[in-house]
Amino acid sequence: MKAFNTKKLIKAIANEHGKTPREIRAGIEEVIDVCWNNPDPQVHEFWQSMSPRGTRPTVEECILYLSAMAATEKLMVEERLHRK
C-alpha cells in the first residue's frame, strides 16, 4: 500500500484552489481549533480520538484520521451494494 503523504496532498489542494500550502494548513488549523474547543462532549471526544495522545490533533493526524474514516465508509458502502 502506498504511504499517505500529507505534504503532497496539501500542496495539490493548494494548487487546485489557487492558494499556498501555508494557507491550506492555516485553514485546517482553524477548523481543528473550532472543533477542539466545541463544548459538546461528544464532539470533543471525537476530536480527542484523532490523536494517539488524546490531545489536540495535528494537521497530519486530522488528515490521516479523516481519510481512514472515509476509506472505511467507502468500503462499507461498496460491501452493502454488492450484497444487493
CA–CA distance, 17 with 30 (Å, rounded to integer) = 18
Residue of higher predicted confidence among 80 and 65: 65
Asked whether residue 79 carries a pLDDT value surpassing 90, the answer given is: no
pLDDT band at 40 (very low <50, low <70, confident <90, very high): very high
CA–CA distance, 1 with 47 (Å, rounded to integer) = 26
Residue of higher predicted confidence among 77 and 65: 65
pLDDT band at 77 (very low <50, low <70, confident <90, very high): confident
Average pLDDT over residues 36-52: 91
Domain segments of the chain as ranges: 6-83
